[in-house]
Structure 1
Amino acid sequence: MTVVAGPAGRTRRVPPGPPRTATFRLLRELFTDRLSLLSSAASRYGDAARIAIGPKALYLFNSPEGAKHVLADNSSNYHKGIGLVEAKKVIGDGLLTSEGELWRTQRKLIQPAFQHKRIAAQAGVVAAEAGQLVDRLRNRIGAGPVDMTHEMTGLTLGVLGRTLLDSDLGDLGDLGSIGHAFESVQDQAMFEAVTLSLVPSWLPLPMQRRSRKANAELRDVVNTLVARRAERAGEDVAGADVLSRLIESTRRESDPAVGAKRLRDELVTLLLAGHETTASTLSWALYLVGRHPEVAARLREEAATVLGDRPPEFADLRRLSYTGMVVQEVMRMYPPVWLLPRIALAEDEVAGFHVPAGSDVVVCPYTMHRHPDFWHRPELFDPDRFHPDHTADRPRYAYIPFGGGPRFCVGSNLGTMEAVFTLAMISRELRLRGAAGPAVAEPMLSLRVRGGLPMTVHPAH
């Protein structure tokens, strides 16, 4: 820790961190191994670290106190930061990247689609989509490895289309291809972030070309969704879904071009955020459960006891308590939103340390969820740590898979229901075995399984 002089002779504490001479090593780690970079900083320097990388300095706060201050208590002083700033170039000003009054308007617009009663009413849709997935997997018994990341992407996009957009996205083609398009735009956004936006986007690099192609594909998807909804204008459509609300809202824009861009940005963001995080969580869940037979057995027993041979209903979400604990533990070890980056608008003091105006501030759920002060043997996969008897004394901001404060994930309840129902239905019917070695986490905008997740499908009994 360093102490510097401030105005009027006041002293200011500066978080400890690696020396400037480590810049090239840090740049290499930022580009190739971001999780290790932040994990090492948290382990070596404690709950606050200042990581100087070239012209930037990242302020990492790895305590519930620091996270709560940045995300909730003084959230108005912090706008979206590194990674999400660059994401604007590829996904526009949707709910994920917007700020201020625009963000408040967008949040108010889509919030009704995520109300408790509406989510409860969608339980049957989620169960039906999960049932179709189980049927597809059952047909692959003995047929060789299946890429489960591809399957989870198809599932979550299918659920998103039917629950939030009142649309069958399967009619648009291979849902996995839409997922690959989103992977390409994420790759480009992260490339912009780790290269500090110094590489011109017009260069004909393979990644740049893939990103432009992916953006064109996503524009086609959005245009098709809007055109199909226009064809239904004469139907008795209730208009409670997000697509209807967005179309109605953007129609009121005085400039049609502005309205069209806002509609496109919102839909692309919804498609990305609405499927990517849950698909990542389910992929990691299948991977971890496949490596822990005792967890798989408990999941299978609970699903058989609670559900029998019927599909789950909304009331079962509470009854599938162990399955819910498994999902929570998966999101502890591999939080889909692994980094919460911010930019300080004005100088601040966080957890006793000075943060200058304009600084890049990061809260990292991945490192927070492995903090040894709050998690016993944090590298161990142990769903029982989320039993109610074990959670009472844990600080609220020690576990933040959905963020915190005003920008807490609006889709958390729908995503949780989707993950619990799907995991229960797969566990009841099938056993999945990893077809390769240990999976590797790839920290992009979400925490993906690098290179896919090949697994073989077997009967449950």
Structure 2
Amino acid sequence: MTGPTDDTRAARTAPPGPPRRATIRLLKQLFTDRLALMGDNAEAYGDVVRIAIGPKAMYLVNHPDLAKHVLADNAANYHKGIGLQEARRALGDGLLTSDGDTWKKQRRTIQPVFQPKRISRQAGIVAAEVDGLIQRLAAHDGPVEVLHEMTGLTLGVLGKTLLDAELGGYETLGHSFEAVQDQAMFEAVTLSMVPQWVPLKKQLHFRTAREDLRRIADELVDQRLANPVENGEDVLSRLIASGSEDGASRERMRDELITLLLAGHETTASTLGWAFHLIDEHPEVGERLHAEAVEVLGDRLPEYEDLRRLTFTVAVVEEVMRLYPPVWLLPRIAQADDEIGGYHVPAGSDVVVVPYTLHRHPGFWTDPERFDPGRFTAAERPPRYAYLPFGAGPRFCIGNSLGVMEAVFVLAMAARDLELRKVPDKVVEPEAMLSLRVRGGLPMTVHRRERARRSEAA
């Protein structure tokens, strides 16, 4: 009998990674600084890293070709993983957490709502909502909590464009989703070893939030059932029609709505928060945004066709999502043994593609820590899978077009009329939850530009 070949030996080799004696340090980072956990180990050990913490091992993938393998080429072998599994307690089997045939059917049901032609028809609604935001911001005398305002905006846009419903009365939505994220990440980092009945403050908040989200979803469905829209194209109408066709339960519709409400508002709100922070740090970017908005828009509201003209504004949004991708972690679980980058990955392993580290890979980005929107106006761009703000493969984010349009409209209209400046001594740092948000909020002062004041006087 012959021994294993060099190729088979290589395929059975585990990737490099931190030694067992580093467990305490890794655990501390897992609880307090998950971005450093990923970034430090990618820098130290390369593009495939095995991170063993207690009884579990996590495989970090940090190269465009390998990300493509996991997310696209061999996507059928990788189901949703750590964090999203725990989020299922609140989100149920919605589009974000489901797999297999359930996910395929859900995607087919909702996909038409996000078709480019339909999204383009929503531009007027988005612009009107953003105009209301700008007026509210301009009316503030003191500091304003930007993340709160962005959450209100994105929920309002989501309700009117995707659900054909008014969400303004559901003021608890933002807080409830925060509790869901907190609990999901707590369960992920504790390996779900803390019983759910333990009356921790975090878990009590989560139970209240879960009931609140279910109540809101049920009310939205009841409202649409009482006032059906003939041939309705919105998500509510499509979910109800799909449920009637196959006998789907109220619970499935609830799961989809809660998932859509979370994913539809959180990512764009987070991106806008980071955008205002970075623009404040780089006033020359703010001035260039202002000049482009004045030239392209004048005094009118933006239209869908303006997305092709607001080239620098689009580049700013893209660069913000490079440095602070709203979905910073793409977790998967290998269903069968696989080989990634020449290393063996056993079935059942947690495999994570981390856009946050991939977007900073020095092999694909020059001076990767620098905020430079010019990267996205240059003729030469990095490889497709070096930039994954919306994921990739079959699970590519279904709402990317609406999110980008909303962010571009906000930045253009805000830069045209306002300047937002962080309050003194505010330390801005990321908090890696299900999304990558600014820790502790983002208070800023609002200053009206001379152009806006002259326009109002006229």
| TM-score, normalised with respect to structure 2 | 0.95
Which of these residues, 259, 263, 276, is aligned with residue 249 of structure 2? 259
Answer yes or no: is the 8 Å Cα contact 1:253–1:259 preserved in 2: no
> Which residue of 2 is the match for residue 290 of structure 1?
280
Which of these residues, 335, 338, 343, is aligned with residue 353 of structure 1? 343
CA distance in 2, matches of 1:252, 1:215: 28
Answer yes or no: is the 8 Å Cα contact 2:95–2:107 preserved in 1: yes
Q: How does 1:364-443 map to 2 (within 5 A)?
A: 364-391=354-381, 394-435=382-423, 436-443=425-432
The alignment status of 1:169 with 2:167, answered yes or no, reads yes
Which of these residues, 259, 276, 279, is aligned with residue 269 of structure 1? 259
The alignment status of 1:249 with 2:249, answered yes or no, reads no
> Which residue of 2 is the match for residue 343 of structure 1?
333
Q: How does 1:92-241 map to 2 (within 5 A)?
A: 92-140=92-140, 143-170=141-168, 172-174=169-171, 177-233=172-228, 237-241=230-234
Deviation string, structure 1 residues 401-421 (Cα, Å, up to 9, x no partner): 000000000100110000001
CA distance in 1, matches of 2:118, 2:245: 26
- 1:129 is displaced (CA, Å) by 0.4
Letter in 2 for 1:60: L
Letter in 2 for 1:160: L
> Which residue of 1 is the match for residue 77 of structure 2?
77
Alpha-carbon distance change, 9 to 222 in structure 1, aligned in 2, over 3 angstroms: closer
What SS does structure 1 have at the residue aligned with 2:142? Answer: coil
Answer yes or no: is the 8 Å Cα contact 2:170–2:216 preserved in 1: no
Deviation string, structure 1 residues 69-122 (Cα, Å, up to 9, x no partner): 000000000001111111111211000000000000000100000001100000
What SS does structure 1 have at the residue aligned with 2:327? Answer: coil
Letter in 2 for 1:152: M
- 1:44 is displaced (CA, Å) by 0.4
Deviation string, structure 1 residues 11-70 (Cα, Å, up to 9, x no partner): 433211001111122111111110000000011011111000111111101000110000
- 1:133 is displaced (CA, Å) by 0.1
Count of residue correspondences: 446
What SS does structure 2 have at the residue aligned with 1:49? Answer: strand
CA distance in 2, matches of 1:445, 1:230: 32
What SS does structure 1 have at the residue aligned with 2:101? Answer: helix
CA distance in 1, matches of 2:25, 2:91: 31
Letter in 2 for 1:442: E
Deviation string, structure 1 residues 223-269 (Cα, Å, up to 9, x no partner): 11112112213xx5331001100111123344xxx611101100000
Q: How does 1:328-339 map to 2 (within 5 A)?
A: 328-339=318-329
> Which residue of 2 is the match for residue 445 of structure 1?
434
Deviation string, structure 1 residues 342-397 (Cα, Å, up to 9, x no partner): 00000111122111111110000000001111111111111001114241xx2110
Letter in 2 for 1:184: A
- 1:324 is displaced (CA, Å) by 0.2
List 4+ stretches of structure 1 deviating above 3 A.
4-11
Which of these residues, 440, 444, 449, is aligned with residue 455 of structure 1? 444
| TM-score, normalised with respect to structure 1 | 0.94
Answer yes or no: is the 8 Å Cα contact 2:290–2:416 preserved in 1: yes
Show structure 2 runs of 5+ residues with no match. 451-458
What SS does structure 2 have at the residue aligned with 1:433? Answer: strand
> Which residue of 1 is the match for residue 456 of structure 2?
none
Letter in 2 for 1:58: M
Over the aligned positions, Cα root-mean-square deviation in angstroms equals: 1.5
What SS does structure 2 have at the residue aligned with 1:370? Answer: coil
Letter in 2 for 1:457: V
CA distance in 2, matches of 1:238, 1:424: 34
What SS does structure 2 have at the residue aligned with 1:315? Answer: helix
CA distance in 2, matches of 1:8, 1:139: 67
CA distance in 2, matches of 1:251, 1:192: 35
Answer yes or no: is the 8 Å Cα contact 2:334–2:347 preserved in 1: yes
What SS does structure 2 have at the residue aligned with 1:13? Answer: coil
- 1:146 is displaced (CA, Å) by 0.4
Deviation string, structure 1 residues 305-342 (Cα, Å, up to 9, x no partner): 00000000000011000000000000000000000000
What SS does structure 2 have at the residue aligned with 1:409? Answer: coil
CA distance in 2, matches of 1:190, 1:323: 33
Answer yes or no: is the 8 Å Cα contact 1:281–1:334 preserved in 2: yes
